[in-house]
Structure 1
Amino acid sequence: MQVRHQDLLRERLALLMDNHKIADVVFVVGREERDFPCHRMVFAAQSKVFEAMLYGGMKEAHTREIPLPSITPRVFSLMRCYMYTGCIDIEPDDVFPVMAAADQYDLSALKRECGKMAHECINSENVATALRESSMMREHWLTSECLKFIDQNASAVVESDAFLDLSEEDIISIMQRDSVVSEEIDLFQAVVRWGKFQRQRMSQLEAEDKVPALPVILKSILPHIRLALIRPSDLINIVKPTNIISIETLFSVMAYHVTPENVDHHGVMYQPRQKPFIVQGALEHWGYYGAGVRQFTYLPKPERGAEATDNKSIVYLGKCEDNAGCRYTVSDIPAGTYYVWVCCIDLPHSLKCRSYGSWDNFPACWVGESDGSLFLVPTWIRSQPQKLPAGSHTWKFGSKPDGGFFTIGWAQFIFTTNPAFEPVAGHLYNM
């Protein structure tokens, strides 16, 4: 019965919204100056801003027509509908403009509804916009959710156009996080791209000699880039040519790569980014010549095996046995650069054997070869890095580049996004 009463109330309020004969105020909205006949009481009852405007000491309290030039007719129409009926049905592109209007006019209930909708439709293309808007409106819970999404999809997010519109504070918030899943060199290049965009925007408003240099624009952000996580080759070939990192700092980082235990910090961050993932997948085994297909689904594990470890960069562990080829599928994997460590133990024979590993339809990025003695003890070999977009991906392992049969008797895998991670030599992990 209560639900029915609510429906009747909404219907009557909707009729009131369309009854222009008894309207006592007209909002003239946007540059188009479109007229919206409304009722003062409805607006004042739900918004302190409108209450002050319509019944306070402001001049709008004594005029029939009130201009609202800073809001578009479309956004005002959606906001008005919510104020009369308590319901709103908007397209994803309208969520943030309506949310900003709700913030401007102190419509907290509408603002919360828009925040929920924004959270539901977040993706790699719009999360930067969501972060910017939620930060400006101090919607801390939505800001937190945006940052969590960026953690797992950073590689795609930093390449979006919306990333360039983030504030310096938002960029720093991202770079400060230990849980960002991305190659550090990609974060560095994204920050440089952001800085160049800001400089280009400034040059449209100021004379060239008054526009700050790139190192000045990035002065507050660069200390949060963890240069020590960048490979020496990338430091030389990518970072140094930008001329935004001092030679002294680069020398300190290069020295760290040689003797990490003997290097002073000098303002350089050496702390690794932690990359925790929990993913589910299936490992399929084939017997000789494809006979006897067996499937195994392992429970998700945030860390390697059942062992205690401080390294949270492990995605998942899988293993295959019994002279088989295998495919390992992970679902909903975040975008990032992945490495696969493969540990093999050869069959007790002296034959040469070769095995390959590859992601999806990419070329083989792992090759292991044995003369019959190399894999008698656990031998870990790391794959070449492979950039993967967000989604489901399959690791194929076998004696052919496409994941066919192989002659290794036992193998174990570690999937990780941490280029610095190394398994313990000669050690197998408890599955």
Structure 2
Amino acid sequence: MEEKLVRGDQTAFYSLMRKRCINHKDYSDVMFLVGPQRQLVYAHRCFLAARSEAFRSLFSQQPIHAVAGRDAPYTLPDVRPEVFLTALDYIYSNCCTLTPDLAADVLSLSIEYSLDGLKRLSLRYLMDGLSEQTACDVLQAAVSHAQAEMLQKSLEFITKNAVSVMRSDRFQELSAEALGALLRGDSLEADELDVINAVRRWSRSNSLISNRQMKDLSSSVVPLIRLPLLSPEELKKVEEENKKDGMIPMEQMAAAWRFHALKENTPYSYSTCLRVGTKQRASHSYLPSERK
């Protein structure tokens, strides 16, 4: 008779593991204090070390007898307890429940602790569940963890839903690097006035949180704004608004005015390239033909 892999009831197995092993004090030999409130979580070294090289390395640095009686818990103050427990679900049972609120942080934890299977599950969940509410979180995670496929998918989604995404609360939480990745593209389906207003809201929000000046916070992002695409009337209004916060450097404003004053083609530059969502203006006739 041939050798054959047979499988038991996986649902029953998962239920039993959750009931008797995952975060269960009986027979556990390691503890974690998780999150700002130091929530106590119980685990088993053999499971964690078998599933994660990072945990194996961590435990090898501290002999098992040094934590006999579970008197030396590991502290993870920057990890949300629900994220850590989701990772434990996966470690013990090879499955877990993901939600939009958890997935990005679970991805971060899976990368940090070399849980490749959980990383793949998190990536797929995030990409398959892209929406106007989650797109910014997915973009930020892609940039933070250098995930090329996820970056491409999130940018494709956001560029097609740019105006609504840029008005979302999550947009304000993007890093300058993530926002820059979005603004570099020509396929953004938003007019430049929408882009400028979104960058100003982002900059103002983060300025209040960090107590830094808007011009400092946005110094790597503002150069990606394409001021020459505005009409002279619109540019004048932007300049008046800019006097209040100084978000846009004087040199950048002057370059846009120079374009309108000379009414001639400028050297090839992203700053004069129409985006997909750019509304037509009479001044666009000055643009180089390859920029239209």
Give, in whole Å, the separation in 1 of the partners of 2:5 and 2:239: 65
Identify the residue that residue 121 of structure 2 maps to in structure 1: 113
Structure 1: gaps of 5 or more residues = 204-210, 276-335, 337-416, 422-431
CA displacement 1:255-306 (0-9 Å, x = unmatched): 36xx333x567x7721222x3xxxxxxxxxxxxxxxxxxxxxxxxxxxxxxx
Give the TM-score taking structure 1 as reference length.
0.55
Does the 8 Å CA contact 1:53/1:60 hold for their aligned counterparts? no
Hey, which of these two has a bigger chunk of strand by percent? 1
Partner of 2:232: 232
The 5 Å alignment of 1:6-405 reads 7=10, 10-11=13-14, 17=21, 20-54=25-59, 56-58=60-62, 62-63=66-67, 64=70, 65-70=72-77, 71-203=79-211, 211-212=212-213, 214-243=214-243, 244-246=248-250, 248-255=254-261, 259-261=263-265, 263=266, 269-273=271-275, 275=276
CA distance in 2, matches of 1:180, 1:3: 51
Q: 1:67 to 1:268 in 2, by over 3 A?
A: closer
SS at match of 2:272: coil
Contact conserved, 2:32 with 2:76, CA < 8 A, in 1? no
Contact 2:100 2:134 survives alignment (8 Å): no
Deviation at 1:90, TM superposition (A): 2.6
Distance 1:23 1:173, change over 3 A: same
- Aligned pair count reads 267
CA contact (8 A) 1:10 1:86 kept: no
Larger-Rg structure:
1
The separation in 1 between residues aligned to 2:208 and 2:200, in whole angstroms, is 12
Give the percent of matched residue pairs that are identical in Structure 1 and Structure 2.
23
Which position in structure 1 is the counterpart of 2:280? 419
Does the 8 A contact of 2:30 with 2:42 survive in 1? yes
Offset of residue 135 of structure 1: 1.6
The one-letter code matched in structure 2 to 1:66 is P
User: 2:83–2:106: 8 Å Cα contact kept in structure 1?
Assistant: yes
- Contact 1:132–1:170 (CA under 8 A) maintained in structure 2: yes
Q: Once the 2 structures are TM-superposed, how far is the Cα of residue 218 of structure 1 from its aligned partner? A: 2.8
What is the rounded CA distance, in whole Å, between the counterparts of 2:188 and 2:270 in structure 1?
18
Distance (Å, rounded) in 2 between the aligned partners of 1:264 and 1:224: 16
Indicate if the aligned counterparts of 1:184 and 1:229 stay in contact, CA closer than 8 A: yes
Q: What CA distance in whole angstroms lies between the structure 2 residues aligned with 1:107 and 1:53?
A: 14
Is the CA contact (8 Å cut-off) linking 1:127 and 1:150 kept in structure 2? yes
- Considering only aligned residues, what root-mean-square deviation do their CA atoms show, in Å? 2.9
Return the offset for 1:67: 2.6
Q: 1:83 to 1:216 in 2, by over 3 A?
A: closer
Question: What is the alpha-carbon distance in structure 1 between the residues aligned to residue 100 and residue 254 of structure 2?
Answer: 48
Segments of 5+ residues of structure 2 without an aligned counterpart are: 283-292
Q: Which amino acid aligns with 2:188?
A: V
- 1:228/1:270 contact within 8 Å kept: yes
Provide Cα deviations, 1:345-378, integer angstroms capped at 9, x if missing partner.
Answer: xxxxxxxxxxxxxxxxxxxxxxxxxxxxxxxxxx
Hey, what's the Cα distance between the residues in 2 that align with 1:127 and 1:89? 20
Q: Which whole-Å CA distance do the structure 2 matches of 1:3 and 1:183 have between them? A: 58
* Whole-angstrom CA distance in 1 between matches of 2:215 and 2:271: 18
CA distance 1:234–1:74, change in 2 (3 Å)? same
Cα distance in structure 2, aligned partners of 1:153 and 1:201:
27
Q: Which amino acid aligns with 1:255?
A: A
Corresponding residue SS for 1:269:
helix
Q: CA offset at residue 230 of structure 1?
A: 1.7
The offset of 1:5, in angstroms, is 4.2
Deviates more, 1:150-159 or 1:132-141: 132-141
Tell me the amino acid that sits aligned with residue 222 of structure 1: V
Amino acid at match of 1:43: L
Cα separation, partners in 2 of 1:165 and 1:149, compared to 1, 3 Å: same
Q: Does the 8 A contact of 2:35 with 2:76 survive in 1? A: yes
Aligned AA (1:7) = Q
* Distance in structure 2 (CA, Å) of the matches to 1:237 and 1:418: 17
